[in-house]
Amino acid sequence: MADSLKIKVTIAGRVYPIKVNSVNEEEGMRKAANHINDLVAKFEQNYAVSDKQDVLAMCALQFASLIEINAINKDQDISEATKKMNTLCALIDEHLEK
């Protein structure tokens, strides 16, 4: 899509105009805004917060920590896969030498 599409999303009761370049990007933005609003509601119900900025900071921390945890897990998965591949290669080499 050559032209960008202007959409509006509501986050924590405020409307934000955003430009997106595709329908998929629009869907992603709207889903992200819904996730944020759900988390805002959860934090407001479970914690005594008087300021939306505090709630949004907690949301940002929640999402950022998920990204970091996933990156750590991915690195660990890659490391484990590499070790297994090296073990398999060693077994294959050993078998071929016989």
The reply to whether the predicted model has a pTM over 0.85 is no
Report pLDDT for 2.
57
Instruction: Spell out the per-residue pLDDT of the chain, length 98, in tens.
Output: 457 899 999 999 999 999 999 999 999 999 999 999 999 999 999 988 878 999 999 999 999 999 999 999 999 999 999 999 999 999 998 888 88
The closest alpha carbon to 40, from 17, 20, 63, belongs to 63
Report pLDDT for 1.
45
Query: What one-character DSSP code corresponds to residue 98?
Result: -
Structure-derived torsion over alpha carbons of residues 82, 83, 87, 90, reported in degrees to the nearest 10: 60
Enter the tokens of residue 75: 């690195």
Report pLDDT for 98.
80
Report pLDDT for 6.
94
H/E stretch holding 6 reads strand 5-11
